[in-house]
Structure 1
Amino acid sequence: MSETKQVKQFEAEVSQLLKLMIHSVYSNKEIFLRELISNASDAIDRLRFAALEDEELFEGDTDLKIRVTYDADAKTITIADNGIGMSRDEVTENIGTIAKSGTREFIEALSGDEKNDAMLIGQFGVGFYSAFMVADNVELRTRRAGLDASEGVRWESKGEGEYVIEPIEKPNRGTEITIHLTEDDAELAEGSTLRHIVRKYSDHISFPIEMPAEGEDEEGEEEGEKFETVNQASALWVRPRSEISDEEYQEFYKHVAHDFEDPLTWTHSKVEGRLKFNMLFYVPGRRPFDMNTNYEGKRHGIKLYVKRVFIMDDAEMFMPRYLRFVRGVVDSDDLTLNLSREFLQENRIVAAMRKTAIKRVLDMLEELAEDGEESKKYQQFWNAFGPVLKEGVVEDNKNRDRVAKLLRFATTHDDEPAQTTSLAEYVERMQDGQDKIYYVTAETFAAAKNSPHLEVFRDKGVEVLLLHDAVDEWVTSHLAEFDGHELQSVAIGELDLDFDKKDEEGDEEDEAEKKDETPEELEGLIAKMKDALGERVQDVRVSKRLTSSPACLVAGEGGVSANLDRILKKAGEFSPGFAPVLELNPTHPIIAKLTGETDNDSFGDWTQVLYDQAILSEGGKPEDPATFVKRMNKLMVDLMG
């Protein structure tokens, strides 16, 4: 053990975080106590888990608890636990540097807007750093269970860019944090105030939270001093739902998810039968900043308990990736305490529990999506987690239909970016005789909304889904139909919107005969354009999609869309390539001009420009932008005489 006292600098990201905490716009500063008690509870959980393999870590003290004491004269509050504690290296790693905490991801997500960043602080789960909301100095004393008493560690900082760390003698394992309150917050060092805060925010903590009994002296543990437990000290998730208030559910969520804000909704169930387990799942009120970040370290997904003993954080085997936004607790009476992550991945009990967990979450979302006031909450959920839930169509074959009913999309029905329309609502609005659900995919909502492929659909009043999330390409490739209706891209294959005439006798055959007809005056034009474009296209044909644009590109039957081709290439994945068909609008003046164009060079320039313009209208870019611009300039000069 090092015997030296050191003054160290915080990493830049931590300094920035501390500055944000000190100048936090939170008006409710008392939540610092909730955060520190939550951390103490986690430390005791980890001790119990580690002691499953090594009982010596208890050091003869199995009376696990958290103590909150105070000294009004000294303006201090101390939160102490007899949990796992920390070594010197762990103190430096967990507090002085970004280490595995995800602090860098948090800092990168900051916008500079105080109000928005304050909300983000809550998502990050500031934990220990929250002490600086009310403190001008914070002192931490700790010793990891199993280490010698001489290997205690003292850490102290004013939150101004540096901290002091030194070895101390600490007979008892665990951690105690002493907060030296600012003048403005000195009133917090009062017994009734602290009891109120503990009961308000931390009543659900499953370990006793002790405070000096009312009427006792303030700080210190003099011999004979009496302490009383001020919380219920029982696992909330095993209590009957009828005995738990909404406020208790909400505060427990903030503990288990390390979030400052209330959850959007939750589901609590007790399963008894062949297997016995409890589940309490929450949907956060907003999207966590690190939803798609795979950094190592502490995560706040599903906590696994066995017979009320904490086993692990982020027990991902109980929840598929498309439900990774769910937070909560699973507690099994059937699993053994000594479990490895690998064993859990293949365990039949876990598989049965996972099936039930998925069902409970989907039930919860379906209830949220029903008509009424709750449906407003569902839209809030969808705005935060819609693209994540869409992954379920790809990942979960067994529940694909249930997930599909929960999907929401933007459509040409209202031309707004908000994704509010369900597939069921689309089907209800389908025209007589329409048997397909039409959609267009693009990189942005604007590109989807303004796609030339929609021109004839708008003219005929046929609704089209406007898909612009990257995952939508995979959703449509795995969701072949909904409620008996095939999903059809408006940009793949030939198009036939004459479904309104097919009920008339004989019309279907007549339309089939006319389907491949090309006006005689355009046959020569099409042949010349094929020659001019060569291998860049697999075909040129007259379009049934266009009413105002001169040309567009479509994928052949069974081909990939231009949007999917771009996505795959951008991600460095293999793409079979976009082999387009160039479709022409025979009524457009440019096409009419080309029909009579005799200059081969000019004809070639017009053809190439039309092709590149069609790429641009799809949200892509020409293979050779410089040449495209030169051609455009030349043609404009020619038109100007």
Structure 2
Amino acid sequence: IRLGILEDANNRGRLAKLLRYTSTKSNGTLVSLQEYTDRMKPEQKHIYFLTGDSVKKMRQSPHIEEALERDVEVLFMTDAIDEYVVSQVQDFGNKRLINLAKDNARLDEPTERDKAIEKERKKKYEPLTERLLTLFGKSQVRKVILTRRQSSEAFILSTQENDMTPRMVNVMNQQAISSLHTMRYSRVLELNHRHPLVRDLLTRFEADANDQTAIDVAWVLFGTANLQAGFPVSNQAMYAKRVNRLLRGRVGLAADDTILPPDDDEYDISDVKPDTTGTDEGLLLPVDNDGDESSDKEDAEPTAAETKPTKTEDDAGDL
């Protein structure tokens, strides 16, 4: 059926009636687009859906959080070909199909009052949105905006209307066409202005654009948002270092506190007989790598000076 929709434009509308998906209200059973529209709330204008690897993952997505709270049904599309199908079946029964992972997705149309408030809010948070765009660089995010979603997350990553989702890019990169492997992700970073971490970042960056704690928090939130949205974390080692550094600060440890010395002498093992088996000649000693210590050195940590807002920080490897 899905292949027919892609190949048979004349019968695309008829075939769309045969599509079946699970949803937030179907309890695991398959529902048609007609069944979905028949039970839509009177004020609902669109058909909402998400694409992903599994229903479990999609239920945990920040993109669906508001719909679940407001009891709005969302279709789950788990087949790789569904990404192609929804690009061809863009409406059904005069209802548009809306991907909640897009940056312009919203459950309600804004009122004039909403638009006026959003305009003023944008001005207030402009120092933060501009600083984060400089910090992450345009190779990481296309733009930084304030989200319209009701969410408990600080950072949410989405894509623009005509850009491919991370799942679509992954599907195409798996095809036997080498040129597709160079395709890049296009991300939109949505900031939740109601989240305390976002407000703290605004305060910190307004006071000091190179605040190292704020920089670490921003990168960790960005990495976490990538994982939630299905985007890759390009530098997992740096992500782990930043998490570790923030945890040290949270429990009162200095950033330069090193690993403690061996504690073997703290334990009473006087009743254990010494091991006299073997000699030095029979021991296998570790091989000395010709004094090469390069493998034991960590990558140099970027300093605050390297992230000055006057310079473009377009380094995908710093994630």
Does structure 2 retain, via aligned residues, the 8 Å contact 1:452–1:546? no
C-alpha spacing 1:509/1:609, structure 2 compared with 1 (3 Å): same
Is the aligned partner of 1:541 residue 2:151?
Answer: no
Aligned with residue 522 of structure 1, among 92, 117, 125: 125
2:294 aligns to what?
Answer: none
Instruction: Give the distance between the partners of 1:593 and 1:572, measured in 2 at CA.
Output: 46
Give the match for residue 624 of structure 1.
235
Within a 5 Å distance, the mapping from 1:118-517 to structure 2 comes to: 389-414=1-26, 416=27, 418-499=28-109, 508-514=111-117, 516-517=119-120
Q: 1:544 to 1:400 in 2, by over 3 A?
A: same
Whole-Å Cα distance in 2 between the matches of residues 637 and 564 of structure 1? 38
CA gap 1:516/1:407 in 2 versus in 1, 3 angstroms: farther
User: Amino acid of the residue matched to residue 577 of structure 1?
Assistant: R
The separation in 2 between residues aligned to 1:437 and 1:464, in whole angstroms, is: 7
Which residue of 134, 140, 160 maps to 1:531?
134
Asked if the contact 1:476/1:487 (under 8 Å) is kept, the reply is yes
How far did 1:441 drift?
A: 1.0
SS in 2 for 1:596: helix
Structure 1 Cα separation of the partners of residues 154 and 219 of structure 2: 13
Q: 2:166 aligns with which of 562, 570, 594?
A: 562
The answer on whether the counterparts of 1:447 and 1:618 sit within 8 Å (CA) in structure 2 is: no
Determine helix, strand or coil for the equivalent of 1:409: strand
Change (3 A) 1:619 1:493: closer
Determine the structure 2 residue equivalent to 1:580: 187
Q: Secondary structure at the match of 1:406?
A: coil
Report the counterpart of residue 307 of structure 2 in structure 1.
none
User: 1:448·1:466 contact (CA, 8 Å) conserved in 2?
Assistant: yes
What does the per-residue CA deviation read over 1:403-442, in whole Å, with 9 as the maximum and x for residues that have no partner? 211111111224x4x3511101111122223221111111
TM-score (norm 1): 0.36
* 1:432–1:568 CA distance, 2 compared to 1 (3 A): same
Deviation string 1:277-330 (CA, Å, 9 cap, x unpaired) is: xxxxxxxxxxxxxxxxxxxxxxxxxxxxxxxxxxxxxxxxxxxxxxxxxxxxxx
What stretches of structure 1 of length at least 5 have no aligned partner? 1-388, 500-506
Q: 1:603 aligns with which of 214, 227, 232?
A: 214
Larger radius of gyration: 1
Shift of 1:537: 0.6
Equivalent-residue separation in structure 2 for 1:627 and 1:570 (angstroms): 27
Given that residues 440 and 489 in structure 1 are in contact (C-alpha distance below 8 angstroms), is that contact kept between their aligned partners in structure 2?
yes
Distance 2:156 2:55 in 1: 18
Could you tell me which amino acid in structure 2 is paired with residue 559 of structure 1?
D
The separation in 2 between residues aligned to 1:498 and 1:560, in whole angstroms, is 24
Match of 2:199 in 1: 592
**3-state DSSP class of the match of 1:518?**
helix
Question: Could you give the per-residue CA deviations for residues 158-186 of structure 1, whole angstroms, max 9, x where no partner exists?
Answer: xxxxxxxxxxxxxxxxxxxxxxxxxxxxx
Contact 1:453 1:546 in 2 (8 A): no
Please give the secondary structure, in 2, of the residue aligned with 1:578. Answer: coil
Amino acid at match of 2:143: D
More strand by share: 1
d(CA) in 2 for partners of 1:424 and 1:601?
Answer: 53
SS in 1 for 2:72: coil
Aligned to 2:272: none
| Post-superposition offset of 1:624 | 1.3
Q: Render the CA deviation track for 1:532-572: whole Å, top value 9, x for unaligned.
A: 11121111111122421111111123111121112212335
Q: Distance in 1 between matches of 2:115 and 2:231?
A: 33
Higher RCO structure (Cα 8 Å, ≥6 apart): 2
Shift of 1:518: 2.6
Structure 2: distance between partners of 1:518 and 1:428: 38
Q: 1:419 to 1:475 in 2, by over 3 A?
A: farther
Say whether the 8 Å CA contact 1:408–1:419 is kept in structure 2.
no
Alignment match, 2:291: none
The residue identity in structure 2 corresponding to 1:396 is D
CA distance in 2, matches of 1:468, 1:391: 15
Deviations 1:80-117 (CA, angstroms, capped at 9, x unpaired): xxxxxxxxxxxxxxxxxxxxxxxxxxxxxxxxxxxxxx
Is the Cα contact below 8 Å between 2:98 and 2:105 reproduced in 1?
no
Equivalents in 1 of 2:196, 2:115: separation in Å? 28
Amino acid at match of 2:154: P
Shift, 1:516, TM fit: 4.8
Cα distance change on mapping 1:517 and 1:402 into 2, 3 Å: farther
What letter corresponds to residue 565 of structure 1 in structure 2? Answer: V
Which amino acid in 2 is paired with 1:545?
Answer: R
Alignment of 1:82-121 (within 5 A): none
Letter in 2 for 1:568: M
1:578 is displaced (CA, Å) by: 2.3
Aligned to 1:260: none
The structural deviation recorded for 1:463 is 1.4
SS in 2 for 1:438: strand
Q: Normalising by the residue count of structure 2, what TM-score does the alignment of the two structures yield?
A: 0.70
Q: Distance in 1 between matches of 2:124 and 2:118?
A: 17
Unaligned ranges ≥5, structure 2: 253-319
Matched, 1:640 2:251: yes
**Structure 1 letter corresponding to 2:15:** V
CA distance in 1, matches of 2:161, 2:118: 15
Shift in Å, 1:489: 0.7
Q: Is the 8 A contact 1:492 1:557 kept in 2?
A: yes
For 1:515 and 1:436, the matched residues in 2 are separated by 23
| In structure 1, C-alpha distance between the alignment counterparts of 2:215 and 2:171, rounded to whole Å | 30
Counterpart-to-counterpart distance in 1, 2:60 and 2:117 = 29
SS in 1 for 2:137: helix
Distance in 1 (alpha carbons) for counterparts of 2:71 and 2:4: 31
**Residues 1:551 and 2:163 aligned together:** no
**Tell me, what secondary structure is at the counterpart of 2:171?**
helix
Equivalent pair of 1:533/1:607 in contact (CA under 8 Å):
no
Instruction: For 2:89 and 2:192, locate their aligned partners in 1 and report how far apart those are by CA, in whole Å.
Output: 31
- Given that 1:440 and 1:465 are in contact with CA atoms closer than 8 Å, whether structure 2 keeps it comes out as yes
Alpha-carbon contact 1:559-1:579 (below 8 Å) kept: yes
User: In the alignment, what sits opposite 2:267?
Assistant: none
Q: How many residues align?
A: 244
